[in-house]
Amino acid sequence: MSALLCWAYPGCINTKKQMRDGTTSHIKNVPIGTCGLIVPWNFPVLLGMWKTAPALAAGNTVIFKPSEWTPLTFIRFADLLKEAGLPDGVFNLVLGDGKVGKEIVEHETIKKISFTGSIPTGKSIYSACAASLKRISLELGGKSPFIICENIDEDQAADWAVFASLFNQGEVCVAAPRLLIHHSIYESVKQKLLEKIDQLNIGDPLSSSVDLGPLISRSHTQQVEDYIIAGKKEGASLLTGGKRIKTTGNFLSPAVFENVTQEMSIVQEEIFGPVITLQSFMTDEEAVELANGTDYGLAAGILTENSKQASYFTDRLDCGIVWVNSYHTPYIEAPWGGIKASGIGRELGVQGFIISQSTSM
Domain membership of residue 329 (yes or no) is: no
For the annotated catalytic residues, the residue numbers are 51, 139, 173, 347
Do 115 and 182 lie in one domain? The reply is no
- The whole-number average pLDDT for the span 187-212 is 94
Do 179 and 249 lie in one domain? The reply is yes
Query: Would you say residue 350 has pLDDT above 70?
Result: yes
pLDDT-above-70 percentage for the chain: 94
What band does 13 get if pLDDT is binned at 50, 70 and 90?
low
Q: What residue numbers bound the domain in which 130 lies?
A: 30-140+335-360
Do 263 and 317 lie in one domain? The reply is yes
Other beta carbons less than 10 A from residue 178's beta carbon: 28
Do 315 and 193 lie in one domain? The reply is yes
Domain CATH for 271: 3.40.309.10
Domain membership of residue 21 (yes or no) is: no
Domain membership of residue 1 (yes or no) is: no
Q: Which of 49-53, 132-136, 352-356 has the lowest average pLDDT?
A: 352-356
- The whole-number average pLDDT for the span 262-268 is 97
Do 221 and 312 lie in one domain? The reply is yes
Do 280 and 175 lie in one domain? The reply is yes
Mean predicted lDDT score pLDDT of the chain:
91
- The whole-number average pLDDT for the span 144-164 is 97
- The pLDDT assigned to 2 comes to 41
Do 56 and 124 lie in one domain? The reply is yes
Contact status, residue 93 vs residue 75, Cβ threshold 8 Å: yes
Do 162 and 287 lie in one domain? The reply is yes
Domain membership of residue 8 (yes or no) is: no
Domain membership of residue 73 (yes or no) is: yes
Tell me the C-alpha to C-alpha distance, in Å, between residue 86 and each of 62, 75, 78, 80, 264: 12, 15, 10, 9, 50
Cα(299)–Cα(337) distance, rounded to whole angstroms? 8
Domain CATH for 112: 3.40.605.10
- The pLDDT assigned to 264 comes to 97
Do 200 and 283 lie in one domain? The reply is yes
User: In which region does residue 340 sit, left (phi positive, over 0), alpha (psi from -120 to 50) or beta (all else)?
Assistant: left
Question: What predicted TM-score, i.e. pTM, was given to this entire model?
Answer: 0.90
Do 127 and 69 lie in one domain? The reply is yes
Domain membership of residue 131 (yes or no) is: yes
Do 163 and 188 lie in one domain? The reply is yes
Other beta carbons less than 10 A from residue 352's beta carbon: 23
Domain membership of residue 293 (yes or no) is: yes
Domain membership of residue 16 (yes or no) is: no
Do 187 and 218 lie in one domain? The reply is yes
Query: Where does 114-263 have alpha helices with state H?
Result: 119-132, 154-166, 186-198, 218-233
What band does 354 get if pLDDT is binned at 50, 70 and 90?
confident
- The whole-number average pLDDT for the span 173-192 is 97
What is the tens place of the pLDDT at every residue in 69-114? 999 999 999 999 999 999 999 999 999 999 999 999 999 999 999 9
How many domains does one find in the chain? Answer: 2
What band does 24 get if pLDDT is binned at 50, 70 and 90?
confident
User: Burial level of 199, CB count in 10 A (0-12/13-18/19+)?
Assistant: exposed
